[in-house]
Amino acid sequence: MQLDGGSRPPASQSVYVALVPVNGGKPPLYVVVLRSEHRERTRQTLSAILQRPLCLGATSFALSVEEAAHLITHVNNLRPILSK
């Protein structure tokens, strides 16, 4: 999973995340777009990690800064386990 500043998503990326600035001094949002053919399984996994429901069948949704940080920490903690 990669956080991006708004450039066009590569076709090979199954999960695309873009930073969206918010006016009024509020923290930015991260927009997640699920592009994989396994969108439903990915959505369920993200819902479990974030401990909040995501709309059934949704292919895109927004994350707060805290949720994005939690998700990145979770993914980074799994990388050493998955690479063995």
The total number of structural domains that make up the chain:
1
Range of the domain at 56: 2-82
pLDDT digits (tens, 9 = 90+) for 6-51: 455 555 567 788 888 888 888 898 988 888 888 888 888 888 888 9
pLDDT at position 1 over 60: no
pLDDT at position 58 over 50: yes
User: Which pairs with CB-CB distance under 8 Å and at least 24 residues apart come from 11-19?
Assistant: 14/38, 14/42, 15/42, 17/63, 17/68
| Entry field: residues in the chain | 84
pTM for the whole structure: 0.66
